Amino acid sequence: MEDSELGKQKCHRDRHSGKKFEKKKAKKDAQNPFDLTDKQRNPKAFAFNSAIRAERRFRRKQDIETKKQHIPLVDRTPIEPPPILVAVVGPPKVGKSTVINNLIKLFTKMPLTDMKGPVTIVTGKKRRVTFIECNNDINSMIDIAKVADLVLLLCDASFGFEMEVFEFLNICQVHGMPRIMGVLTHLDKIKNSKTLKNTKKVLKHRFWTEVYPGAKLFYLSGIVHGEYLRNEIKNLGRFISVMKFRPLQWRSTHSYLLADRFEDLTNQELIRQNPKCDRNISLYGYVRGVPLKKEGSVHIAGMGDLKIHDITYLPDPCPLPEQIKKRALIEKEKLIYAPFSGVGGIVYDKDAVYVELGGSHSHKQRDEDDETNNIITNMIDAKETLDVKMKHSEMQIFSGGERLTAEDFEDSDDDDEEEKQVMLYEKKSGKQDDEFQNELNKLRQKSCKEVEDSGRIRRKVTFDTSDDELNSKFDQDSEEEKEEYIELKENKDLDVYHKISNVLKELDAKVTHKQKKEDSSTDSEDEIQFNAAQDDGDIDLEDVCDENDNSGEENDEIRWKDNLAKKAEKTFIERQSSNQNLMKLVYGVFSSKNSSHKENIESSKENEEEEDIGGLFKKVSKEQQNTKVNKDTMNLTESSLSLPWKAAVKDWLEPNVRIFVYIK
């Protein structure tokens, strides 16, 4: 009994009441069986085919979702935030100051003539930007890496990445990576479009590996009238004005200040007595990060830790617009504050507000280009004597040409002659010099990392997977294409040259023969004329020699142009005669016809004048009669295939006649 009870299973009983029953009933009533899709009716038939593909799809979806997730951080920025600090970093002579000037002109329509220190401008209703240029030394790079919110990393595209760029990136990784945007300049120096495209690609991928994949990189093609293209600068300015920044750990735990300007408050008498005495200075700027405490001490870069004597709050020298409406900024609201550069006119001090005025004489309009002012200012600014200045002064005749100095012309005339001889010798071996220079350039690219450019040593970065190899490949491809084109052109020219030379060689024999006859006749006439003139005494021997030389040169120049049509006809006939015809070789009849045809042509040319009778009738020559007879004979029937007239023909099938066949 127990086994039978254990073997039995309890059957399922559907619910007829309760919450679950009511829920299922409502669901069934809501669903119309005709409205269901095939996937809802039979979901197993619409399952995924490949489990691997489904796993990849799921993983990719999760990766995208996690990228969108941000760790929530406390935003400690005040209601009226300080200006965003944009640092322009890069090696010298890349165009840092030009980029800053163009950006300032874009936002404020007021370019700076002499830019010094940080420049603060209002770019929008809720945003201000402070531009600062980084000096080319590690100390200033370290200071700016701690402070900057956004870094514009400039690079010379024609040269490549230099060590200064990677030094700054390594410094940023230590103190917390700010937002970095790359800017490639001097793209107009790369003339070839293919190499330009490849250099852009190589530098972009190298920049991505150093910063992060997808980092923004801008291209500034070239300078026109001292400025970059307006659309390119507008693009860059748009990104700067919209950029969002995440708070970094070091900055959210420290208070820091970038000084817009400073003043020395030390008593002048103490400075006169002891120039190395302790100074009292006041620094002006926006406090960023944590609020600055009065009792604490501050660290000034390059000086050390110092105690704060007093902190005072001043009115904002570059305020945001007061009423925020749905409109663009007016020109009045586009303020600029650059105290080191002398822009703005208003200086806020802790005691008072100073408005810069030129004085009573400033109301008069003065010509800045006055000659007397220029002469005096130049004499005051002169730091060297006139002879030293003259030696170092340069003169350039053509744009892009060599610059000439006074030292180049101090050597004697003998040295100049030696230099000329050397230059002449070098010009003869131009190809060898080019090959030698190419080999030197290859060696420099492989071994040397330091390159001198106008007295400055530029340190180019070399990698394991060097970008130079890629560039060299593209350069080699372009050079090979050029060489192939030049070779094809040279081969065509050589073929034409050989053909012309062969024709001229064949014609030389006839021309020389005719010239000998003409020269013999002209020589006798010249002797007679010369003797007659010599008797009169009206001729000089030198004039005669000069005339003969000139006439000989003119004859040599014009001789090859004589009888070009005849020369071409002769070469055509010779070419046709040299070509062998297969029909001519197999059937000898055609050769006789051709020869007779040639003889007919020559004889017809000789007798053309005799054929006409009275200008109306023509004589029928024997040759024409013969050709007519030949045509008639060719049209006759074959006599071997037809029976002659009245000819008795035997029937060889008859028995009487068949006997004669077997008789021998």
Max avg pLDDT among 37-41, 419-423, 437-441, 640-644: 37-41
Max avg pLDDT among 119-133, 242-256, 312-326, 411-425: 119-133
Residue 196: CB partners within 8 Å, gap ≥ 6? 187, 190
For residues 494-517, give the mean pLDDT: 62
Match 């053509």 to its residue by tokens: 398
For residues 139-147, give the mean pLDDT: 89
What share of the chain has pLDDT > 90, as a percent?
Answer: 7
Q: How far apart are CA 119 and CA 101, in angstroms?
A: 10
- Above 60 in pLDDT, residue 546? no
**Comparison of pLDDT for 100 and 355, the residue scoring more:** 100
**Could you tell me whether strands 227-228 and 223-224 are parallel, antiparallel, or unpaired per DSSP bridges?**
antiparallel
In this prediction, residue 292 carries a pLDDT of 86
Q: Which two tokens stand for residue 247?
A: 């708070």
Residue 345: CB partners within 8 Å, gap ≥ 6? 355, 356
Least confident of 5-9, 74-78, 271-275, 400-404: 5-9
Helix (H) or strand (E) holding 7: helix 2-7
Helix (H) or strand (E) holding 120: strand 119-122
Q: Which two tokens stand for residue 382?
A: 């002169």
Q: Is 381 left (phi over 0), alpha (psi -120 to 50) or beta?
A: alpha
The SS3 assignment for 113 reads: coil
Per-chain mean pLDDT for the chain: 73
In this prediction, residue 25 carries a pLDDT of 86
Match 């409406």 to its residue by tokens: 325
**What is the gyration radius of the CA atoms in the chain, in angstroms?**
51
By the 10 Å C-beta count (0-12 exposed, 13-18 middle, 19+ buried), 371 is classed as exposed
Task: Determine the distance from the C-alpha atom of residue 111 to the mean position of all C-alpha atoms in its chain, rounded to a whole number.
Answer: 30
Match 């109301």 to its residue by tokens: 363
In this prediction, residue 424 carries a pLDDT of 35
Residue type at 556 in one-letter notation: D
**Comparison of pLDDT for 383 and 444, the residue scoring more:** 383
Q: How far apart are CA 95 and CA 118, in angstroms?
A: 17
pLDDT band with cut points at 50, 70 and 90 for residue 443: very low
In this prediction, residue 182 carries a pLDDT of 92
Q: How far apart are CA 599 and CA 587, in angstroms?
A: 20
* pLDDT one-digit tens code per residue, 189-223: 888 888 888 989 988 888 888 888 888 899 998 88
Cβ count near 248 (within 10 Å): 17
**Comparison of pLDDT for 562 and 291, the residue scoring more:** 291
* Cα→Cα distances 8→12, 13, 14, 306, 418, Å: 13, 15, 19, 92, 123
List phi, psi (to 5°) of 190: -85, 110
In this prediction, residue 588 carries a pLDDT of 61
The residues with which 420 forms a beta bridge, in sequence order, are: none
Strand locations in 454-544 (E): 456-459
Fill in the DSSP letter of residue 636: S
Which residue in 83, 82, 111 sits closest to 97, CA to CA?
111
Least confident of 1-10, 120-129, 422-431, 517-526: 422-431
Map 227-263 to HEC letters.
Answer: EECHHHHHHHHHHHHHCCCCCCHHHHHCEEEEEEEEE
pLDDT band with cut points at 50, 70 and 90 for residue 478: low
Strand locations in 221-358 (E): 223-224, 227-228, 255-264, 281-289, 297-300, 304-307, 336-337, 346-348, 353-355
- Above 80 in pLDDT, residue 90? yes
* pLDDT one-digit tens code per residue, 391-407: 777 777 777 777 777 76
Match 């060489």 to its residue by tokens: 483
* pLDDT one-digit tens code per residue, 592-633: 445 555 555 555 555 554 555 655 667 777 788 888 888 777
* pLDDT one-digit tens code per residue, 337-394: 777 776 766 665 656 666 665 554 444 455 555 666 667 777 777 767 777 777 777 7
> Residue 496 half-sphere exposure, CB side, CA atoms within 13 Å?
6
Q: How far apart are CA 288 and CA 260, in angstroms?
A: 13
In this prediction, residue 423 carries a pLDDT of 40
In this prediction, residue 174 carries a pLDDT of 83
- Above 80 in pLDDT, residue 16? yes
Is residue 503 within 8 Å of 567, Cβ to Cβ? Answer: yes
- Above 60 in pLDDT, residue 507? yes
Least confident of 444-448, 484-488, 621-625: 444-448
In this prediction, residue 61 carries a pLDDT of 93
**Comparison of pLDDT for 533 and 85, the residue scoring more:** 85
In this prediction, residue 399 carries a pLDDT of 72
* Cα→Cα distances 455→138, 632, 651, Å: 21, 100, 122
* pLDDT one-digit tens code per residue, 276-306: 898 888 888 888 888 888 888 888 887 888 8
